[in-house]
Amino acid sequence: MDRDVMLLLYRDMTRIRRFEEEAARCYTRGKIGGFLHLYNGEEAVAVGSILAVEPTDYILATYREHAHYLVRVGDMNAAMAELFGKATGCSKGRGGSMHFFDVSKRFMGGHAIVGGHIPIAAGIAFASKYRGDQDITLCFFGEGTANMGAFHEGMALAALWKLPVVFICENNMYSMGTPLYRTLAVGDVAVRARGYPMAQEIVNGDDVLEVREAVRRAAKRARTENLPILIEAKTYRFRGHSMSDPAKYRTKEEVEEWLKRDPIRLLADRIYDLGIASEAQLKAIDDEAKHDVAEAVKFAEESPTPAPETLFDDIYAEEQPVPDVEKVVALPRRASAGA
Amino acid sequence: MRELSYREALREAMAEEMERDERVFLMGEEVGHYNGAYKVSEGLLDRFGERRVVDTPIAETGFAGVGIGAAMVGLRPIIEFMTWNFSLCAFDQLVNNAAKLRYMSGGQITLPIVFRGPGGAAHQLAAQHSQVVENLYAYVPGLKVIAPATPHDAKGLLKSAIRDDNPVVFIESEVLYGRKGPVPEEDYVIPLGKGDVKREGKDVTLVAWSKMLQVAQDAATELAKNGIEAEIIDPRTIRPLDEELILKSVRKTNRCVIIEEGWPFAGAGAEVAYRVTSKAFDYLDAPVRRVTGEDVPMPYAKNLEHLVLPNVEKVVAAVRQVLYRS
Ligand SMILES: Cc1ncc(C[n+]2csc(CCOP(=O)(O)OP(=O)(O)O)c2C)c(N)n1
């Protein structure tokens, strides 16, 4: 394994962890409003997946999407400012924690209605195929989503039309307060793929390298053969569903058991074992993350709130002259992103 | 009289009706083992068991439809939406099935079902989690739509809704759950379709429901300081609407301001304004005015959210306009 890649994975996972820990503190201090869903413990899934694909591939996630945004877009300032409801936020303060967007980086959101974004992901993949582009779409969601109608319909269409989309189920064992076994009639979400039918794979979601390998394979297939796949990453969220959930439905022993499998810890151990970096080097990465988070908070604090006169901006697209037909037909085509 | 919170009042209504009638059961996400996402159903699983307090997966279309099927053959389901925002996933079930099965079957089917849960804007939850849906459902013939403002009304109306033989959309207010108020010990119901005069006054009629009642009351207090006596009518039930009560008040005050949290276009307030204008035109001394939420998806930023929602200043300004005192 490439040394630089290992360190990059470590860096991104650390940045997410530090960012979210600080976000939790800011939430408690009343700096952040609304719901705040944290991703602590699941970092390996977003990092392993998104770093396995091209920067031109599309990403969609749920309301628990800070991590996916940070891996793909990386702009901590814009992320923190969005949480603070500031004009400099990645959605100009309109979206908040659950609706991060950066379309220029093909980060297609933060979606807060469970299952609602799954057909949308299929639609983005449909457009790629339609245009003959080589781009694929990664769509993240939790295991609790696997019972929604939109989930089944989105999957069914993706399989039927052979759309280049990689569905990634972040199975953290709970949908809100309900454990998997009380919501799912099948043992693994992955088996649901059979009926559409669609390829499937189950991976250890705490192992960033395993996730990365699986998504690389899936992405290659999606790109070259237009075949969708459902990957189920088994993982665990260390905190409650959101900041308002004390997570009393889990035992201390259970949480402690999973804390031993902290994906960041696991990767650090691997890095030491392989002699890639020393403890001091990893600490330097961590310190840099903390520094960047502190800067982001400062940036967010000092940023202006959205101007009141912008309230009605962006409800509709600006009026534009009707383009002539030739321009409509000649859709932009981009060069292949490569596999 | 003892005081209960809005949440406790709703819980008591469900518990009493489940006690009275074996056919009544509660179903929804996190209603049982988690004791309810907003703790409305706290303790009901312990009391009534898993047969009657049923946790569901996240599958709105599915469990709304299951409720409808069960009601078709004689059970009396209470279906909780974790919030009404998610009911939109089940919109087809409510609109195309619940509302129409009786009519389409020539009256053969009776559908005693209540869909309930929190609605309206809450603190900085942004566009997909902060919206008013009573207008959407009130549009549909075959549904009854209720939006109570006080613990007393919440309990009495929910009991009536559960006993009603029609599909009822019962929209609670997320931000009122902790609000306390007097609730009688003894069994009582409030008939669906009966509004309430929440304050007597002679100068202007304010029509407001759910959490907008508080805005109306605060505005009335403010107006009283300047000698303006507002009468407040809470229709409580949006469909059917207690038209007579509103008209009676307008005939007395000759002016009307409607306050609603939802979007203005085709809103329930527009219906009220139309009825007042067409049926009490001769009594009006000024055009009916509406104070509504702004015509925009709900922004996350606190300062913008504040601009969107109706507030006391906006209501006072509207009242001044109908009194020609601006
Ligand atoms: C349609 C819909 N129903 C209910 C909710 C409320 N809700 C938000 S997250 C959640 C649990 C989702 O669990 P899962 O899909 O496993 O994702 P996780 O949060 O575990 O990442 C629920 C019930 C919602 N947002 N949308």
For the segment A67-98, what is each residue's pLDDT rounded down to a tens digit? 999 999 999 999 999 999 999 999 999 999 99
pLDDT in tens, B210-269: 999 999 999 999 999 999 999 999 999 999 999 999 999 999 999 999 999 999 999 999
pLDDT at A339: 38
pLDDT at A123: 97
Q: Are A90 and A80 in contact (CB under 8 A)?
A: no
Report the separation in Å between the CA atom of B223 and the middle of ligand 1, taken as the mean of its atom positions.
Answer: 44
Inter-chain CB proximity B123 and A34 less than 8 Å:
yes
For B140-175, give the secondary structure using H, E and C: CCCCEEECCCCHHHHHHHHHHHHHCCCCEEEEEEHH
- Of B34, B59, B124, Cβ closest to residue A148: B59
- Interface contacts (A, B; CB < 8 Å): 127
pLDDT at A319: 75
What is d(CA B62, CA A152) in angstroms, rounded to the nearest whole number?
Answer: 12
Q: Which residues of B are catalytic?
A: 60, 129
Q: Is B69 on the interface with A (CB under 8 A)?
A: no
Counting every residue written for chain A, the total comes to 339
Inter-chain CB proximity A34 and B61 less than 8 Å:
no
Suggest the residue from B31, B55, B58, B294 to mutate for an interface test with chain A (most A CBs closer than 10 A).
Answer: B58
Inter-chain CB proximity A249 and B85 less than 8 Å:
no
Rounded-to-5 percentages of helix, strand, coil across chain B: 40, 20, 40
Report the separation in Å between the CA atom of B66 and the middle of ligand 1, taken as the mean of its atom positions.
Answer: 20
- Of B129, B294, B303, Cβ closest to residue A306: B303
B168-173 and B204-208 strand pairing: unpaired
Q: Compute CA B278 distance to the chain's CA centroid, rounded to the nearest angstrom.
A: 25
Report the separation in Å between the CA atom of A230 and the middle of ligand 1, taken as the mean of its atom positions.
Answer: 19
Q: Is A246 on the interface with B (CB under 8 A)?
A: no
Please tell me the distance in Å from B242's CA to the nearest CA on chain A: 34
pLDDT at A126 over 80: yes
Please tell me the distance in Å from A256's CA to the nearest CA on chain B: 21
pLDDT at B48: 98
Q: Are B180 and B150 in contact (CB under 8 A)?
A: no
Q: Closest-CA residue in chain B for A143? A: B58
pLDDT category of residue A331 using cuts at 50, 70 and 90: low
Q: Is the CB of A143 under 6 A from ligand 1?
A: yes
Inter-chain CB proximity A85 and B307 less than 8 Å:
no
Inter-chain CB proximity A311 and B299 less than 8 Å:
yes
Please tell me the distance in Å from A223's CA to the nearest CA on chain B: 32
Chain A hits for B128, CB-CB cut-off 8 Å, are: 98-99, 111-113, 116
pLDDT category of residue A338 using cuts at 50, 70 and 90: very low
Q: Compute CA A202 distance to the chain's CA centroid, rounded to the nearest angstrom.
A: 18
Report the separation in Å between the CA atom of A62 and the middle of ligand 1, taken as the mean of its atom positions.
Answer: 9
Bridge partners for B239 per DSSP:
B145
Inter-chain CB proximity A176 and B295 less than 8 Å:
no
Inter-chain CB proximity B304 and A308 less than 8 Å:
yes
Q: How does DSSP assign A62-121, residue by residue?
A: -SS-HHHHHHHT--HHHHHHHHTT-TTSTTTTSS-TT---BGGGTEEEE--STTTHHHHH
In chain B, DSSP finds a helix count (H) and a strand count (E) of 12, 14
Token pair 């990645």: residue: A90
Suggest the residue from B83, B84, B96, B304 to mutate for an interface test with chain A (most A CBs closer than 10 A).
Answer: B304
Please tell me the distance in Å from B282's CA to the nearest CA on chain A: 37
Could you count the other beta carbons within 10 Å of the beta carbon of residue A274?
11
Report the separation in Å between the CA atom of A136 and the middle of ligand 1, taken as the mean of its atom positions.
Answer: 25
Question: Could you read off the pLDDT tens digit of each residue along chain B, which spans 326 residues?
Answer: 999 999 999 999 999 999 999 999 999 999 999 999 999 999 999 999 999 999 999 999 999 999 999 999 999 999 999 999 999 999 999 999 999 999 999 999 999 999 999 999 999 999 999 999 999 999 999 999 999 999 999 999 999 999 999 999 999 999 999 999 999 999 999 999 999 999 999 999 999 999 999 999 999 999 999 999 999 999 999 999 999 999 999 999 999 999 999 999 999 999 999 999 999 999 999 999 999 999 999 999 999 999 999 999 999 999 999 999 97
Chain B residues 262-321 with CB within 8 Å of chain A: 294-297, 299-304, 307-308
Report the separation in Å between the CA atom of A217 and the middle of ligand 1, taken as the mean of its atom positions.
Answer: 29
pLDDT at A179: 96
Q: Is B174 on the interface with A (CB under 8 A)?
A: no
pLDDT category of residue A318 using cuts at 50, 70 and 90: confident
Q: Closest-CA residue in chain A for B299? A: A94
Q: Which of ligand 1's atoms lies nearest the C-alpha of A114?
A: 26
pLDDT in tens, B166-190: 999 999 999 999 999 999 999 999 9
Q: Are A76 and A296 in contact (CB under 8 A)?
A: yes
Q: How many CA atoms lie within 13 A of B207 on its CB side?
A: 33
Which ranges in chain A belong to alpha helices (H)? 3-28, 43-50, 66-72, 76-83, 117-131, 149-160, 208-225, 252-259, 263-273, 279-302, 325-329
Q: Is A154 on the interface with B (CB under 8 A)?
A: no
In single-letter form, the type of residue at position A306 comes to P
